[in-house]
Structure 1
């Protein structure tokens, strides 16, 4: 298998954590593919027409893309431990979607600050995205701590990668404020070997 990969991508990090946790990393070749929103993604067009990473090339089927699809496929291949069966599956999928929503908003802030010309940047736009992130963190604090503290699931991995990205790119905004339980959980979760091994390089 080949994973089109960038160490700075939080969506790629989700896949890498799953590879570590399920013991499948030795079976995957990492293909460097650092892409931004203005890149054409030409090397990836025949793998993922959207030109985005992560994308997982398989020897026995079409290339998979979108981190949620890849993570679910890898977990199924490893025996289905991270996405439980039964009603609990929907909680895991919802938690993963909430974490990915945090990432979506955080990336919009990143792109606004790093890629748009200074004279057309919108602080109000960035603040609006941060409101969404803080609302999501508050929901994690009030609704999801029992799940986060349970056996490892894909929801936990997704939240861990999302919070890690907030530290990586937006630490000064202080997501931990008002979320002491979530902050304590993350302090423990980010010490997992899979999280340590997949930390992005210094910004």
Structure 2
């Protein structure tokens, strides 16, 4: 199998963390590409018609894309239990919360990076950050018991989302007023799978 990736993508990091946690790194060749929302890599377009990463090619089977699909496939392949049936709806909701933070944060990064400075839509940035703050508050106030429970995909998604906030939006200080979540993140980022996948700008 081959994984199309960029080292700064939080969605790719999700997959990379899961590969490490489930012992499948040796089964996947990593193909680094340069791609943006405005200039999609040609090989990536062939693998994924949407032109998005991550994309996982498989021998004699269609390419998988979207980090949630890829993670679910790899978890099932390894029988790793990162989507536990006994708490599946909480786990999927927590994964969606982490992925939603990524969506907003990536959108903000694109707005600043890809749009001419004089056309940057400040109201869009404000709106996206407000969504992130509501999600962070929910994590801090409602989800800590789950986050301190057995590892599942929700932990990985949230951990990667928070890492991306540090990478692209550190000046906004997401930790302020969220001591419980900040303490969890500090511990979680020390896992080998997280430490080995820290994105570099």
- Fold match, TM over 0.5? yes
- The question of 1:69 aligning with 2:66 is answered no
CA deviations over 1:121-173 (Å, ceiling 9, x no partner)? 12221111111000000000111100000010000000000000000010000
Aligned to 2:182: 183
Aligned to 1:28: 28
Aligned residues: 201
Distance 2:119 2:58 in 1: 42
Distance 1:82 1:175 in 2: 27
Aligned to 2:7: 7
Distance 2:149 2:60 in 1: 35
Aligned to 2:115: 116
Secondary structure in 1 matching 2:85 = coil
Aligned to 1:159: 158
Q: Does the 8 A contact of 1:41 with 1:52 survive in 2?
A: no
- What is the Cα deviation at residue 43 of structure 1? 1.3
Distance 1:168 1:56 in 2: 25
Following TM superposition, where does structure 1 have runs of at least 4 consecutive aligned residues deviating by more than 3 angstroms?
none
Secondary structure in 1 matching 2:171 = helix
Q: CA RMSD in A?
A: 0.9
- What is the Cα deviation at residue 60 of structure 1? 3.6
Aligned to 2:98: 99
Distance 2:194 2:175 in 1: 19
Aligned to 2:89: 90
Long gaps (5+) in structure 2: none
Aligned to 1:128: 127
Q: Does the 8 A contact of 1:14 with 1:158 survive in 2?
A: yes
Distance 1:46 1:110 in 2: 26
Long gaps (5+) in structure 1: none
Distance 1:89 1:80 in 2: 14
Moved more, 29-38 or 156-165: 29-38
Distance 1:28 1:63 in 2: 13
Q: Does the 8 A contact of 1:33 with 1:53 survive in 2?
A: no
Q: Does the 8 A contact of 2:22 with 2:80 survive in 1?
A: no
- The question of 1:194 aligning with 2:178 is answered no
